[in-house]
Structure 1
Amino acid sequence: MAKCWRYCSDTEEDLFVTNVLAEAAGAELPVALDPAGSRLLEQLLPRTSAPQLSALLRPLLPALRPAAGHHHGARVLEAALLRAVRLLGAEGGEAVAGLVLEAAAALTGENLPALASDLHGSFVLRSLLRVLGGALVGSVAARPIPGAGTLVPQKKRAEAGSEGPLEFEVPESFLACLQGIVASFQEHLAELVPHRVSSLCLQVALEVTSQKLPKTCAELCCAVIGYLSSRNASSTSSPLLVFLKDPTCSRVLDKVLEVSEPRALRMLYRHHFQGQLQVLAGHGVANFTVQHLIAAAPCKMLGKVLAELGPALEEVLACGHPGVLTALLRACRQHGAHQQEALQMVLEAFHCWDPPARQDFCAPLLASLQTYEAYYPSEEGLGATEQQPGPLPALGSISLHGSLLLQHLLHFANPGPVLHSLAALPALDLVTLACSSAGSHVYNALLASSSVSPKQRRKVLRKLKGHYGSLACSKHGSRVLDAVWNGATLPEKQKIAMELAPQEQQLCHDPFGRYAVRNFALTHFRKRRKDWDQVQEAETRRRELFAEILED
């Protein structure tokens, strides 16, 4: 169906939508619940006008609750709500806004807990919360809104290209309705928080209100914390810690940490987390909440978290939770503080801080997430001055989190140990790192970091000379080679091209190498090299003849 729109003019599309909706008049509910009919409506809704959307939604209002709980009906209602986003400011938008409010009244109230816990109804409720709050958050923000054209965001707080909130203007009546739904959430927390499906609606409510209704969001956060704190009271530790180890409740707490104000976050840490971070970081579920706490922590609080977690980083790594280390380094990089302490603690966890000579071997240890003794088992009895770095682990052993650790450290104010270690690696190890899906991103950090001087950068990159062909024929290595080329000076580009030019035929037959031939204009450089070789031969011959004349 979607492919057919390519061959239709705007007039033909409008006529088709009008005719189909006219045929469905009087049987909107059966069509919405029918497998084929619902798919057709989903395709048509992004192209409906405000009057057409109103005519479709109004007959569904009396049976909105059963339709929201149906597999096909829920998809139609989601598409209708997302279409309403575009029509609020169009002609007939007031009627659409009134229908959205009527739909909210029919779906919420006494039906709210049942709708939130329903597998299909929860999707409709989450879409309703986003529309009422004027913020397409979560996974919906990462995909295009149904309809022609693009919705221009009024404010996008996330980085460009990342998943984040997409905000738009909504009537005050929508925000008032959202406040009423949030108040109903607070009354039914005992049913919503521990439920696997309904807790997702609570998370969306927290995220939406944090954008448009910060006071309401703070009240909801306090209500969630108060409810969990009142359960399972314990005299030895905070009752909240029990729920941090539950997969469902911990997700709600993660969202609370994400949207809480700094003052509320500090109080939450002081009353519930302080002194327990080492235990939580070693738990299979609670360690993710610790990562969210680190990401949300203000600078002063980050120092306390680092001091508490630092001595236990090796145990956390042994438990298989490197995300905690990654979160710490990321937070130190963003705040520009506590970087030296974090670097020392991380290298101590990998047993390569002391003696200082071991710091030159830290890059392969971090990349593979192995301690010094595990990486160099045959070197344990040797002195620090006798030990030599071995080759990097196999391609599959270069860890994603290990790559992230190296990337964050390269962006530190003093990335000296990592730079020295990378520069000390053999050329083949650097090629292995560049050709790895995770390790190739280390070169992005090396090239982009403002803390790395051009001289330090060249000291690492010059070891790739002689291996440009291997990089050009690798999926990830070719991306590294492109980045090196883009940041190189003209003489450096000439050296790269002159090395690759003799391999032009081989590169042309490689699925990745052929792009190097095109991007680097290797044919031009090959011709220039041929001309240069001829000039050199002629010059050599001229000198030989001149020497013969002098001898005579």
Structure 2
Amino acid sequence: MDEEQITAAAYNDRSSYAKNRNKKRKSAGNRFLQNAKGFGRKHSFGRGAELEQEEYNYFLEILEALNGMTGDDTEERSTMANNVYAQIRDKEIKACSNQLSSRVLDNLLGFTDEETLQHVMTVFGENFRVVCCDKFASHVLQKTLFIAVLRCIGEMQVDEDKDASECRKKRKSDVGREMDYNLVMDFSPGHRRVCGKFVKKVAKFLLNNLEEFVWDSFGNYVIRQCVSNLAGITELKIGKGNSAEIRKLIVPDKWFKLINEFCSRLLVWPQFPEFPYNEFTSVLLQNILTSLDQTQDKFQMLQIGEKLLNDSFLLKDPEQDQSDERQKLPKVFHRDSSIRLLEVLVSVADPNFFKDQLYKRLFQGNVLLLSQTRATNFSVQKFLDCVSDKHILEHFFSELEVGLEEILQLGHTGVVASLAKACSRLACQQGKFVKLLLEALHCSDATGVKLLTPVLNLMPPEKQSSVQIHLHGSLILQAILDFNKPIKLVTAILETKNDQLAKVFTDPKGSFIVNAFIASKFVGEKSREKLIRHMEGCYMDLALSSHGSRVLELLYESAGSSQKEAIVRELSERVAQLNSKPWGVIINRKLRVEAYRQNPSQWKNSSKAIGGQRAEKIFDDIVDTGSQSKKRK
């Protein structure tokens, strides 16, 4: 097989990989479809409201058609949406209350025309109480609210956001395409007003029935989405688990008054002090705090924060054994739901409340104990991620330093990673951190790989059974490389054999160390050049790995002209092997390895020309920026 055939095969492999990945994304939808078909064969026509067999089979066909659609199908979806909603005219509530049909209606609602959506809003407006707490219909109500919000505020979004939305249409996420479609479509002013009235109507209904819906799992979720949407916060699932993309939109200022009304109603409830300890109400308060942060309502946020702190968080839990040191902690640290609420409050609190209330009254004096406890060490991490005052960090550090080794032994490595990032961000306690870390890992006097490995593994040398990079070890090293004086770890990296470094750099977690090494303004130019030269003989190992190939690109971009040629020369000696992997093919194309193999002199000349063009472009950009600045003046 010649090199062209190898290259083609590599591209085909990459294409197959992408197809397989897309199949996995669709697997959940396919499983639902197969389960629904199974129910149909057993003459069980869906959970929730019972459908007729003919209706059930109709929705099965629609769902199957939806699963087979690709990204560029907006017109087809819109036609299908209007047809399906026409089929269920006057039977909307029943259809929305069935698991199968509600899934179909939810997926299609965002692509309906103006008349269809307005009819759905009218039907829901007359049946709010029924649909709010229904297991399946509540999801369609949430989608109706979401689409109404998008259509109402679409014209308010800035042009840059609309341009970005056009680009996002290429995404595979159905929800992302639906969102972008409703933001950029040119709906009539009358339709936008109707959508705005529906949003307000939903909010008012929820406010008037707050006591009933707050404790209901489905009604509570509708309230949470309503509050978030009123603040312009949207959350799109972009992968498995809980991964999501948060987009913040411009919304009318008058919607903020509705959020305030939710806050005011809840604050006067006698049950408010118990809200943090109930899963439903805790998550509701988390959404409210996030929404208030988005709307920059500091007064309302302070009211909620103070009431939570004084009436709820600082209480002693009578159910806990007060003879145990850990049980003497304030009540907030004894429940998972309240701990998560505290973490949100920490992330949105203003500096004064953060320092004078949260730190002094909850964390001060308890830092080490909280770091050593499994449930509460995440609160310490969140606090360190949000701290902006050097003096607080110094006090925090003084409590943690005596127990750093024990924290690592307990496996609460996230605390140490957050501490490293805080030291880097605030340029504080950096030398002391490195000293204490190396002492905790029993490698203070080590050099080279004997120093690097314990830091990456977060394990003392005598306890290491296998070499495996720890995520937090990588993050800690990245933070240290951004310290003012990272020389000890920089030297350790450069003294490690290049084949051992190649194994680190091809690891998904270890590869990002190179990003920090290259980007750090405290790692000298000579050290960067030395690292690039040090990796000679291992460039192919990097190129043949998905993560290592990205590292190789970083090294190449940072290298001087002679070193760039050295990288390409090494790769050119094994072009066939380079083309055996999809990422190797990409490296071949970007670095023009094949061109170098055929004619090194021509490659050098073209590289100089490309470099000159880049420099000229940068100069032109600077000149253009300067001209625009003068015009503005």
Query: Aligning the two structures, in what range does the TM-score lie when normalised by the shorter sequence?
Result: 0.7 to 0.9
Q: Given the superposition, is the C-alpha separation of residues 347 and 4 from structure 1 closer, same or farther in structure 2, using an over 3 Å criterion?
A: closer
TM-score normalised to structure 1 length: 0.81
- CA-to-partner distance for each residue in 1:339-398, whole Å, 9 max, x for gaps? 223222222222333x5x6598432111011124435x9xxxxxxxxxxxxxxx53xx11
Aligned in 2, Cα 1:444/1:224: closer, same or farther, shift over 3 Å? same
Q: Residue 118 and residue 308 in structure 1: after superposition, are their counterparts in 2 closer, same or farther (change >3 A)?
A: same
Q: Which residue in the other structure is 2:118 paired with?
A: 54
The residue type paired with residue 400 of structure 2 is: L
Counterpart pick for 1:105 among 199, 204, 216: 204
| Residues 478-522 of structure 1: per-residue CA shift (max 9 Å, x gap) | 221122122222211111111111211122223432332222222
Which of the residues 185, 192, 211 maps onto 2:294?
211
In structure 1, what is the equivalent of residue 508 of structure 2?
437
Contact 2:451–2:492 (Cα < 8 Å) also in 1: yes
**Is it true that 1:460 corresponds to 2:460 in the alignment?**
no
Q: Which residue of 2 aligns with 1:126?
A: 224
1:143 CA displacement: 5.3
Question: Aligned partners of 2:574, 2:190: CA distance in 1, in Å?
Answer: 63
Which one has the largest radius of gyration?
1
Q: Contact between 1:257 and 1:292, CA under 8 Å: does it hold in 2? A: yes
Q: Report the equivalent of 1:181.
A: 262
> What is the one-letter code of the residue matched to 1:198?
T
Percent of aligned positions that are identical: 24
Alignment pair present for 1:419 and 2:419: no
Q: Please point out which of 283, 286, 303 is paired with 2:373.
A: 283
> What does residue 477 of structure 2 align with?
406
Does the residue aligned with 2:512 lie in a helix, a strand or coil? Answer: helix
> Runs of 5+ in structure 2 lacking a partner?
1-64, 154-188, 604-633
Range with bigger deviation, 293-302 or 248-257: 293-302
C-alpha contact (below 8 Å) 2:95/2:102 kept by paired residues: yes
Matched, 1:222 2:313: no
2:455 to 359, 366, 388: 366
**Alpha-carbon shift at residue 257 of structure 1 (Å):** 0.8
CA distance in 2, matches of 1:506, 1:460: 24
**Retained in 1: the 8 A contact 2:317–2:330?**
no
Superposition pairs of residues 106-255 of structure 1, within 5 angstroms: 106-112=205-211, 114-136=212-234, 140=235, 163-164=245-246, 166-172=248-254, 174-186=255-267, 187=269, 188-190=271-273, 192-212=275-295, 213-226=297-310, 227-232=312-317, 241-255=330-344
CA contact (8 A) 1:410 1:419 kept: yes
Tell me if 1:264 matches 2:335: no
CA RMSD between the two structures: 3.0
Q: Which residue of 1 aligns with 2:384?
A: 294
Q: Is the 8 A contact 2:448 2:496 kept in 1?
A: no
Q: What amino acid sits opposite 1:177 in the alignment?
A: L
Opposite residue 497 of structure 1, the aligned amino acid is: V
SS of match in other structure, 2:190: coil
Matched residues in 2 for 1:409 and 1:194: separation? Answer: 38
Q: Report the alpha carbon displacement of residue 415 of structure 1 after superposing the two structures with TM.
A: 0.9
- Structure 1 unmatched runs, 5+: 145-160, 378-392, 533-552
TM-aligned CA distance change 1:17 to 1:426, over 3 Å: closer
Residues 388-419 of structure 1: CA deviation (Å, up to 9, x unaligned): xxxxx53xx11111000110111111111110
Runs of 4 or more off by more than 6 Å in structure 1?
Answer: 5-9, 233-239
Return 293-302 or 34-43, whichever deviates more: 34-43
What code does the residue aligned with 2:482 have? H
Q: 1:5 Cα deviation (Å)?
A: 7.8
Counterpart of 1:79 in structure 2: which amino acid?
K
Separation (CA, whole Å) in 1 of partners of 2:559 and 2:127? 65
Q: Aligned residue for 1:548?
A: none
Tell me which moved more, 280-289 or 44-53: 44-53
363 and 55 in structure 1: CA distance in 2 versus 1, 3 angstrom threshold: same
Cα displacement string for residues 419-462 of structure 1 (whole angstroms, at most 9, x for unaligned residues)? 01111111221111111111111111111111111211122232
What is residue 92 of structure 2 aligned with on the other side?
Answer: 28
User: Quick one: distance in 1 between partners of 2:560 and 2:94?
Assistant: 67
What is the CA–CA distance in structure 1 between the aligned matches of 2:113 and 2:352, rounded to whole Å?
46
Change (3 A) 1:128 1:450: same
- Cα–Cα, structure 1 residues 522 and 13, in superposed 2: closer, same or farther, change >3 Å? closer
> Where does residue 315 of structure 1 map in the other structure?
406
Displacement of 1:99 in angstroms is 1.9
Amino acid at match of 2:441: F
- Distance change (3 Å), C-alpha of 1:171 and 1:529: closer
Match of 2:138 among 74, 84, 90: 74
Amino acid at match of 1:223: K
2:279 is paired with a residue of what secondary structure? coil
- Other-structure match for 1:344: 435
Deviation of residue 171 (structure 1)? 4.4
